[in-house]
Amino acid sequence: MGFGLPAATAYDRAITIFAPDGRIYQVEYAFESVRRGWTTLGIKSRGGAVVVVHKKKQSPLVDEKIVQKIFRVDEHIGASFAGIASDGRVLVDQARHLALLHRFYYDEPILVEYLAKQVCDIKQAYTQHAGVRPFGVAIIFVGVDDNGPQLYMTEPSGRYLSYYAVAIGEKSGDATSFLEKNYNYELSLPEIIKLGIQTIANIAEEKITPQSIEAGYISVDEKKFKIMSIDEIKKYIDELIKEGKIK
């Protein structure tokens, strides 16, 4: 008489077990955490790079002003994430530590790709050891370095890719479709900021407000990542309404 687990569920009990078709189910479950996160997108163009987040109301008792989703990692790098917030916080802190060490050892700012790779090395290590679980978060890094404007997205599996525009989190598919139709690398920095806000407005179920959007940008001229204020975001929303691009 056998007491084995059903074949369909036997392969998700540990991170070190491959299914017969080569899948690691715990990693795929981590991707599901990302898909349930707030819609987050990054865009780069000749003028710089921007990251935009749709901050959905969680509860009337939560003070949304202290819920931060966009972070300055280094002077020339910003980041945001979708997925498990605690995992994202820990990895952003680790990215800051790595960027600081690079400046200390080499007296120069870290390349955005190299930072993304180092964070992915940490993520990948947590996909191959018993007793741990993968990080259930995808992180978008934007910045400007010696190679120009940069945009990278790191996956829970430890893979990272460079993008012109990328969306993660809830409704990322709709956001990606909108970006594919409206993106152009020749757009200026203000234009990609508008495109990011317009994308969120077009996929959101409710009307967006300056309080429901968080955004940060970096220009190729200044090479300094800045988190936008509510007043700055309101100005762009008003311009989009005046242009008839959002309601």
3 pLDDT more than 60: no
pTM for the whole structure: 0.93
How many angstroms separate the CA atoms of 69 and 20, rounded? Answer: 38
Q: pLDDT at position 1, please?
A: 41
215 pLDDT more than 50: yes
pLDDT class of 5 with cuts at 50, 70, 90? very low
2 pLDDT more than 50: no
Q: pLDDT at position 16, please?
A: 80
Q: pLDDT at position 9, please?
A: 63
Q: pLDDT at position 57, please?
A: 78
Contact 238/194 with Cβ under 8 angstroms?
no
Task: Compute the average pLDDT of residues 70-84.
Answer: 97
Domains annotated on the chain, with CATH: 37-56+69-242 (3.60.20.10)
> Which two three-digit tokens encode residue 169?
């989190």
> Per-residue pLDDT tens for 177-195?
999 999 999 999 999 999 9
Query: What string of DSSP letters covers 193-210?
Result: HHHHHHHHHHH-SS---G
Nearest residue to 164 via CA among 177, 180, 175: 180
> Per-residue pLDDT tens for 15-72?
888 888 888 889 999 999 999 999 999 999 999 999 999 998 778 888 877 889 999 9
> Per-residue pLDDT tens for 92-148?
999 999 999 999 999 999 999 999 999 999 999 999 988 899 999 999 999 999 999
Residue 51 CB-density burial (10 A; 0-12 exposed, 13-18 middle, 19+ buried): buried
> Which two three-digit tokens encode residue 2?
């056998």
Expressed in percent and rounded to 5, the helix, strand and coil fractions of the chain are 40, 25, 40
> Which two three-digit tokens encode residue 142?
């934007």
> Which two three-digit tokens encode residue 184?
């152009």
Q: pLDDT at position 13, please?
A: 77
Q: pLDDT at position 56, please?
A: 84
How many angstroms separate the CA atoms of 142 and 90, rounded? Answer: 18
